[in-house]
Structure 1
Amino acid sequence: MFVKHCKVEIYLMPLKLQDSRKQQEIHHINMSRVDTIGSLELVMRDLFDIPDDVEVRLWNKYMSNTYEQLNKREQTLQEAGFYSGQIMIIEIRNKDGTWPRGGTGEGKKDEVRAQELVLCDNPGCKKPAKLHCAQCKEKTCSGCAGSHLLKKSKKGHNMVEYKDKTQQGDILYCTTHEHEKCELYCEQCEIPVCLKCLSGKSHKGHDYTETSALFDLKRTCVIKDRDSIKNHIQQLKEQKEVLDTNLKETKEKYKNLVTEVGVRKEGILKAVERAANNKVQKIEDLKTLDINQIQAQKEKLEQQIAKANAVLESQEGLLKGHSPSELFSFESKASDLKDIPEMIVLKEHSFKKGLLSTEVIEGGFGEID
C-alpha cells in the first residue's frame, strides 16, 4: 500500500524586488516557496521591462552589507534559504561585457560590501557621524561634538574618529559554531544566528532581523527607560522641595500660634496661666503630629529617590558596558518606580480668642482648632 502526503501552502512569501539601476524603488510581490529562481527571474524581467535577450544575474541581499549571487535557476526559494521580506536585486550586464557590481558572473559567490550612512545621535541632527565617544558610546557630527564634550560625565569623554572606533561590544558569537559572528536574529527561534546556521534546515523559511538593528532597538529601550526614571526622580525631588517648604511654613505657622497665645496670656490675670499652658500643650501636640507626618513622607521620598538612583546607575553601566548578554536580558524597571505618593494635606489650625470672664476663665481663654 502506498501513502501519498500532500502539503498545502496557505501564506505566500512576501519579497522585495529592486533593479540595480534604481535601488531606491522597491516593488513588493508574493511568491510560493516552491517557485524557482528561474521563475523569479522571469517575474523580475517582466516587472522591470528587461528583454529576454539581455543577460542578467540575480542577487540575494541577506544582510545589510552583503549580497550573494543566485545562479541555480532550478533551485526553489525555500531551498535557497529565502525568508519573509527578502530583498532581491536584478543586475543587467553592461554593453562592454562587464558587470556593474564586478565579478565574473560565472556562478561564483561574490560578496559586495556597501557602506551605509551613519547619522549623528544628537536629537534633531541629520548630519553624518564623524566622531565617536568611546565612553558614552554615542556618535556625533563635527558640529555637535562641542556640545557633547560639555555634557557632564563621571568618566569624561574620549572622542575618536568614527571610522577608527571598535565594534567589539556589538558583536555576538554563535553558541553553535565557534568564532562565527551572529549578524541576524531568528524571530521564530528567538536566538541570534550566524551564516552557518542559515545554511542548515532548522531555520529554513524563518524571518530574520539584523542584530545591529536589534541592538539599536535595545539601546533605544534603555535610553527611554533611563529618561523615564530621570523624569521620575525629578518629580520626586520637586515634591521633596515642596515638603521642605511646607515644613518650614508649618513650623513658622505654629510658632506664630504660640506667640499669639503668649500675647493673649500676658494680657490676662495670672489665674488663667494654667489654661494658657493647656492650650500651648495642645498646639505642641498638633505640631508634633503634623511634623511627624511630614518627616515620614519625606523619608519615604528619599528612599524612593535612592532606589531610583540605584536602578539608573545600573542602566547607565549597561549602556556603557560591553556585555551583549546583559543587554539582551535587560528588563524595564521604570514601571516599578512610577508610583509617586500623594501629598499629605494638613489641617489648617488657628487661634480664636474667647470672651474672657472672671467666672469662666477656662472657657473664655480661647480654642485651638
Structure 2
Amino acid sequence: MDPRTSAQDVMRCDLCETAVVQMHCDTCLVNLCKACVGEHMISDQTIKHVVVTFQSRKSTPLYPECTTHLKERCKMYCDKCDIPVCTKCLASDQHLGHKLSEILKVVDNKKDKIIKDLTELNETIYPTYQDIASDVQNTMSQLEKKYEDLSTAITKHGEDWHREIDKLVKKLKAEVDEMKNTQLQTLQKHLDEINKTMSDIKDEINSVETVIDSNDLSKLFKVTSNVNIYRSLPQKPVPTLSKFIPEKIQEEKLGKMFGTLSSSSLTSDKHGYSMKTTQKSPEAGSSPPVKQLLDEPETVTTINTGYTGIFNGLYNVACLSDEEIWTSGDNKTMKLYSINQGSLLKSITIKSLRSRGIGDIAVTKSGDLVYSDYNDRTVNIVKNEMIEEVIRLQNWIPHGVCSTSSGDLLVIMDSDDRKQTKVVHYSGFTEKQTIQFDDKGKPLYSSSGYITVNRNLDICVSDWEAKAVVVVNQAGKLRFKYTGHTPAPKNKPFSPRGITTDSQSHILTADYYNDCVHIIDQDGQFLRYIDCGLSYPWGLCTDTNDNLFVAQWKNRQVKKIKYMC
C-alpha cells in the first residue's frame, strides 16, 4: 500500500513526503515535518513565513495579497475605495484622507453577515424551497389524477357515442329492410298479375288454334278475341330506391358536437408562496390546491332574509367572512346575517333621498362594507356603522361595485342619458383608470351590471342589455365576451345578473330567467350549470372555501351551495 495515497495512513510532510506532519505554515498553507521547517523558511525570503504546530494551523490570519504591490499583505481596509490596502498603499497619496479600518474588523463584520445569511439559508430559505418542491409535487400528483379523470370522462363519452351510433345504424338498416320488403312485395304482386295474364293469353291461343283446326264453322263464329284487352299493356312499376345521404364529416363541427376541452394554463401567482418561518402564522399562504367541480352541486343551507313587500325583492349578497354575509334588496336597508344560525346580526339604513337606491354592495379587504347609491350618484363606505361618502359622480349613475385585492375600487356606471357605460378604477378614491372602448373605438359595454375581478386580474362585467359577460384584462383590453350556452335549462335567452369568481379563476354568473348559475373558465369556455332549485337568482358571492352564495330575488332567500371538492 502506498503510504502517500492510503486513506488509512497519517498525513505526510509536503516537502519530503515521508515524515509525519508536525508543523504548518499559515502563510503558504504547507504541511511540514520539523526537519523541513528550516528549508521552507529560506525557500522564499521575500515573505514572512508563520510556522505553527499542525494543531494550531489557521490560527494566524492569512491577510489578502495587495493587488498593487507584489507580495505585500493587506492589514487595513479603505472604506471609501472598498478594497484591502497594504502599508505601501497607505504610504502613497492614493488613499490620503480616506477612512480606513482594520481589515480584521471588516472581516468580522463580513463574517457576521455571511453567518447571518448562512443561518437564513439553512433555517428559512432552504426549508421554504423544500416546502415549495413538496407543494409542486403535490400539485403534479393532483393534476395527474384530474387529467386521468378527464381522459376517463372523454373515453366514457366516446363509448356513449359509439352506443348511440350503433343504435342509429341499426335503426337505419331496419328502415332499409322495411323499404326493401315493401317494394319487393309490390313487385311480386305485379309479377303475379302478369303471370296470370300470360296464362290467360296462352289459354286463349290454344282455344283459338283448336277452333281454326276444326271443320265446325259454328265454333269459328263463336270465337271472341281479347286481343284489344291484352294489347293494352299494364303500367310498369318503377321502384324509387332510397339513397343514403351521409353528412360530410367536418372535424370542427364534429368536435363541437362531441364536446370540447376548455383551455388550460399555468399562471404565475406572486402571492402564491410565502417564506417559511419558525413561528406558525395563520396568514402563511400557498398556491390554491387544484379543485374539481362536483357532478351534482348541493345546497348546504338556506337563509331567509326577511325582506317584505310586493316589489321588495332581494338583489345583492356579499361575504364578510365564512360565517357572515351582507345582503341588500329593493329598499334602503343592508342586513348582516349569520350563515350558520340564519339570524340577523345588524342592519344599516342608507340616507338616500328616495325609498330605494342601493345598486350594489361589496366588502373591502379590510372588512368594511361599500355600496353604490344610484339615486344620489355616490359610492359610500360603512365604518363602525357610520356611513362615509367617498365618491360623488356628475352626469353618471353608479351601479356595480367591487373591491380589489389591493383595496382599490372598481365601479361600473351609466351616463345620465343611459347611452354610455364605463368602468372606472379608483385608487384611494381617486380616479386612476377608465375602461370604456375597445381597440377599434367601439363601446365595450351596453349597460351597467355587476362587476368583479378574477385571480388573474381580469375585470369581469355582467352586461344586462347585451346579455353577455364582458371580460377585459388589467389594462382594459378586451379578452372575450360570453353570451351564454345552449341548451339553456329553461330555453330562455341568457340574462346575466350577479357575477363572482373563485380560487380556480372560474367566473360564475347568475342567469335570471333560466334559474341557474353559469360556470365558465378564465378564458370564457362553458363548464357547467348550477341550478339546485334556484328561483330568479340575482346576486352572487363566494367565500374563502369556494362555497357559492346566491341571492334569489323573488323568494328573498340566500342559498349556500357547495359546487367544488
Same fold (TM over 0.5): no
More helix by share: 1
More strand by share: 2
Higher Cα Rg: structure 1 or 2?
2
**TM-score with structure 1 setting the length:** 0.28
Higher relative contact order (CA 8 A, sep 6+): 1
**TM-score with structure 2 setting the length:** 0.20
